Amino acid sequence: MRDLKVVRWRRRHHDLLAATLLTVFVSVSLGLTVSGSAEAWYGGGTPPHPYPLSITDDQVASLVGNPWVSPTVSANADLIVGQTLGTAGGGYLDWRAQVVPVQNLYGFGVTDPAGIASKTSIVLLGGNHPNETTGSIALEGMIDFLVGDDPRMAALRHHAEFYVYPQSNPEGRVHEYARANPENPSKDHNRYWNDTTGLMTDVTIIKTSMWTDTGGDVDYFFDFHSIGTTGSGAQLWTKSHLIHSDFADYLKDRESGIVRVATSGVSGMARIWAMSSDGLNAEFSFTPEFGVNKTSERYITYGENYALALYDTIVPEPGDANADYMIDGVDLGIWQTNYDPLGLNANAFDMGDWNYDGLINGGDLALWQQNYAPLGYLGLLETTPEPGTLLLLGTGLLCITRMTADGPTAPRRQ
């Protein structure tokens, strides 16, 4: 699986090199320097990471037909939710006084349609700042990993639904702006997400799509950026009350070098807008930031570890049907109620199919027994019940009541 992904990346990277050479040729032949009102289309560093829009187009095209990918409600079959205005519709030119072609805005969902009934909803946004290309590579790597064959991603797709908008500022990327685009050349593209006047056409289209696709209420929001042109580290920006949230802690476990930055932000940032009631009511909202001076493969690994940290945070242990972080008689009762060794029903993890094989049978019961943790699987008390205890629980289910209505608040799995 991983080999296939590397091959696909290299194919994209081949396109990327061709585009880079073309740009160098055009720039040299026209005597242009990339400076002034428009800026470099990548954030510097060694090696440079130019990220032409063709990479996004290629990745989205590769996702059409993937069994875990579907158009969002607002998207067409090609995963397009709208288009920019360009010169034809908006009457503007780019910083070189060149015509601006219309560009696609993409939106797609990633999930397992056969997953649990109440999934965690997660929005992934990219491309706000055109020259922050290392963030685009990380998001690309995360997307490829999310739709791939890793069994942890299969479990994550079972429990989560992703809404992905990989490129929110395509005209800025194509025309080599730093933080703006031809439609609004003097405005920071990540300061107007709370704008209600339609100032930025691409932002307006993507916001409207997000509302339509998610119903305006999500759990997690991520807006992928880069630190800038000199920093080589990686950061996670979020509000101070989320700096030690479960996701942030799990990410730190997987990527110890990521520095957590507590920042309140401003209301026009996508990350802050997403948390507002006028936005997406996101409970958790983060800005992944990536520096320079690393290989493409390293940024892809960052993206994969973002996906794995979500797996760590969201996916319950096998046996925990009701996701209350305890594996106990309540879960066994759910297994018993839905017992289906022939797979006659559409079974899911929250029904007792804890090994995701479509059946609810002895294989799942064995996982329940193995992971049995009636006081929670936090490393506090994990015991395997004796066969006698198992029988007692199996026959005494009606006597067992849950200790709390909601269970512990998302304790970290150890």
Binding site for Zn ion (CB under 5 A): 129, 132, 225
Return the closest-CA partner of residue 190 out of 211, 212, 207: 207
Which residue number, 134 or 371, has a Cβ lying nearer to Zn ion? Answer: 134
Which residue number, 18 or 259, has a Cβ lying nearer to Zn ion? Answer: 259
Q: Considering the complex, what minimum distance in angstroms separates the CB of residue 223 from Zn ion?
A: 8
CA-based diameter of the chain, in Å? Answer: 83
User: What is the enclosing helix (H) or strand (E) of 248?
Assistant: helix 246-254
> Which residue type is seen at 144?
D
Q: Considering the complex, what minimum distance in angstroms separates the CB of residue 132 from Zn ion?
A: 5
The tokens of 146 are what?
């999310």
Q: Considering the complex, what minimum distance in angstroms separates the CB of residue 245 from Zn ion?
A: 22
The CA-based angle 75-78-81, given to 5 degrees, is 30
Which residue number, 173 or 225, has a Cβ lying nearer to Zn ion? Answer: 225
Whether residue 105 contacts residue 83, with contact meaning beta carbons closer than 8 Å, is answered with yes
Which residue number, 5 or 129, has a Cβ lying nearer to Zn ion? Answer: 129
Which residue number, 5 or 225, has a Cβ lying nearer to Zn ion? Answer: 225
Q: Considering the complex, what minimum distance in angstroms separates the CB of residue 402 from Zn ion?
A: 45
Q: Considering the complex, what minimum distance in angstroms separates the CB of residue 85 from Zn ion?
A: 23
Q: Considering the complex, what minimum distance in angstroms separates the CB of residue 307 from Zn ion?
A: 21
Which residue number, 12 or 129, has a Cβ lying nearer to Zn ion? Answer: 129
In sequence order, which residues have a C-beta less than 8 Å from that of residue 201 and are 6 or more positions away? 84, 85, 90, 183
Which residue number, 166 or 376, has a Cβ lying nearer to Zn ion? Answer: 166
The tokens of 215 are what?
């119903």
Helix (H, G, I), strand (E, B) or coil at 38: coil
Q: Considering the complex, what minimum distance in angstroms separates the CB of residue 106 from Zn ion?
A: 19
Distance in angstroms (rounded) separating the CA atoms of residues 332 and 385 = 13
Give the side-chain half-sphere CA count within 13 A for 305.
Answer: 20
Q: Indicate the pairing of strand 225-226 with strand 220-223.
A: unpaired
DSSP-derived letter for residue 198 is -
